[in-house]
Amino acid sequence: MLSRGTLAPTRGAGWWSTPTTVLSRALVRVRVFSLAQAPVGERRAVLRNLLVAWSPFADSAFLVAQREDRALAFAWDAAAAAGAPLPESLLQQPMAGDGCRLLRGLEGCEAQLWRGGWPVATRWWPEPPSTADWQEFARTVPPADAALLPAAAPAPQAAAWRAGPWVATRTLQALSAGGSRIEHLATVATIFGLLGLTAAQAHVGWDAWRERQTVQAALAAVESDAAPVRAARDRALGAAAGSALLARELSAVQPLEVLQQLSLALPARGAQLRDFELEGLRLRLGLELAADVQRATVVKDLQAGGWFTAVTEAREQSGRPWAQFEATLAGLHPPARPAADAAGAAPAAAAAAFVPPPSTAAPPRPRP
């Protein structure tokens, strides 16, 4: 299958005298860009950016034609075609006015939709398009031009060839070079403007520069003097964060304080602590009681101090061989006890037999 051809007729016959590489439509991607939203003076730069963003190949070569606010771009793989080839679509006679046609080119068929002598949509197929192919092409046509497209694909017709491109084109490098020339002219104009400064203006500029240097030096000195203040501020913020954390800790009930009050409230003998759960102000205890210790006595002793309130024996037992009690703490801290009571309770607290809850952790494994 032909991928690209070389047409080399003589100039006397109205064709080229120099051989020209012609790329078949199968190797070329074609896209129509609208530049209507771009300011007139920036359309070249916008078009250059659109081409770079499009780049359908890893190493794309471009030819682009522009007419007012519309641009027609051709792209192909630069590695597959050296030199300066021309897409076959540029060498076909254009349509005058509006309409749609299906051309049979070097290989395959190309549908072209024209408005005002300019392409607005195009699609290539290796064979004449089917009904589904034509409907898919219709979905890519701009809504403003959809009325120009027939419902079914027209019959393919042979392309009429020209002696040269039907429209002037530029490469991506030419677009970029045009932008560079504009920037160069702007730079040159700036230089000449600077050279045209009078001596008085130059003196004013020199004074302004020296004043700027002085202000920058003063600013550096202020920043240096402020460094210790910033460091002290950072330390204060860190201390404040630590204080907030400590305040949150102190605003909760402390388990050790609860255990201490339990040691003072429970009987000195015959009550061993087996389970302990504290959630907010809710307390749940598991006590192993001797046979001579009454549960009503335990409830009474716990409530006697005033901190453990609403003490009840849990009706739902956990299945463990000890009694379950629930209580509500009256506050974050126990009420103050008289000095005499605190001194008399010390020996009893020392004699109370409390056993920590059994550990649920697995025993350590022997090491080889």
CA distance 19 to 10: 9
Per the listing, tokens 């408005």 go with: 115
Q: What does the pLDDT read at residue 350?
A: 42
Burial class (CB in 10 A: 0-12, 13-18, 19+), 89: buried
Per residue of the chain (368 residues), what is the pLDDT tens digit? 334 444 433 333 444 455 678 999 999 999 999 999 999 989 999 999 999 999 999 999 999 999 999 999 999 999 888 788 999 999 999 998 899 999 999 999 999 999 999 999 999 999 999 999 999 999 999 999 999 999 999 999 999 999 899 999 999 998 887 554 555 555 455 555 555 556 667 678 788 888 888 888 888 888 888 888 888 888 888 888 877 777 766 678 888 888 888 888 887 777 888 888 888 889 988 888 888 888 888 888 888 888 899 988 887 656 677 888 899 998 888 887 665 555 555 444 444 444 555 554 455 554 44
Q: What are phi and psi of 2, to 5 degrees?
A: -70, 130
Which stretches within the chain are classed as H helix? 43-54, 131-139, 172-195, 199-250, 255-265, 295-304, 339-351
Q: What are phi and psi of 161, to 5 degrees?
A: -90, 150
Read off the tokens for 37.
Answer: 């939203």
Q: What is the pTM of this model?
A: 0.48
Q: What does the pLDDT read at residue 182?
A: 52
Q: What does the pLDDT read at residue 6?
A: 43
CA distance 352 to 287: 13
Instruction: Tell me the CATH number of domain 255-351, given options 3.30.1360.100, 3.40.630.30, 3.40.50.2000, 3.20.20.70.
Output: 3.30.1360.100
- What are the domain boundaries of the chain? 4-180, 255-351
